[in-house]
Amino acid sequence: MSVREGLDDTQPAFAEQGGINNSIKDHEMTRTVWVAALIFCATGAYAEGTWTFGLIGGGTKGVYVGEDDYTYGVVPMLSYDTERLHIGLDGVSYEAFDYGIGTVSLSLGYRGAPDFPDKDLFKGLKRDGAVEAGIGTMLNFGDAYLGLDVSKDITDAHKGTEATATIGYVLDAGAFQVDIAIGAKYRDAKLNQYLYGVTAAEATSVRAAYTAEKTTTGFASLTVGYPITDSVTLIGSVDYEDLGKSAESPLVKEQHPVSFGLGAIMRF
């Protein structure tokens, strides 16, 4: 199975939800790994249903004040896919429409609450996890692709909206399969307030009030897959994100978080 055939079966809308992450710093690695799982291991035949299982170990550069420079952990992956439907730890996605060069997918996913450090700066600062509904499309142009995704909180946890545009290219490099992507991410003020803001009521003697603004920022990712068998693939990924104006928050120490992951995924 070629990388190109795998890419034709991807469903970017659910991948953007980052549903299994517990903090903003894990979001990009989660997104990249789920997209790569579909690109590198797609079977091209989902009629009977396909299970995907994987474990990805990784590290993320701390975004919030008081976090370690890097934290490490393991991201589990489990999903079930048919030709149009995806159900997984990352959320649910349904391919609603195929227009030849691309598809339109509807998604439902969970955004974990920010994992604030256990420091005085964050005491009393509470956030709830959010369920987000999304719509996305991916257009295929040979080995290149364009993804557009929008998600909206439907549980009033933050009431915000996020939109992502991604341009990517997939290629074979010997036995390796490579996905290179860059893009732009829009977050409205409500979502940024949820992630990085401090209301007047939340301000303390050690935590200044901060009103977040909407942002449009860039990101990039590199993912490499190495097939061990027809059903098992090793995956490595590196992600970069710019937080833009949100880095001015008194809660934030790192404007340019980087994450990386290495693991294996299996389809059966």
Chain segment 178-202, per-residue pLDDT in tens: 999 999 999 999 999 999 999 999 9
Query: In CATH, what number is assigned to the domain containing residue 194?
Result: 2.40.160.40
Inside any domain, residue 34: no
Cα–Cα distance, 30 to 19 (Å, whole number): 8
Mean pLDDT for 76-82 is 93
Q: What is the pTM of this model?
A: 0.84
- Structural domain range at position 200: 49-267
Inside any domain, residue 150: yes
Type of residue at 54:
G
Cα–Cα distance, 200 to 218 (Å, whole number): 30
Cα–Cα distance, 151 to 240 (Å, whole number): 21
How many domains would you assign to the chain?
1
110 Cα distance to chain centroid: 11
- What confidence category does residue 38 fall into, taking pLDDT thresholds of 50, 70 and 90? low
Cα–Cα distance, 132 to 110 (Å, whole number): 6
| Contact by Cβ (8 Å): 16, 149 | yes
Inside any domain, residue 116: yes
Structure token digits, residue 65:
């004040």
Digit-coded pLDDT (tens) for 199-224: 999 999 999 999 999 999 999 999 99
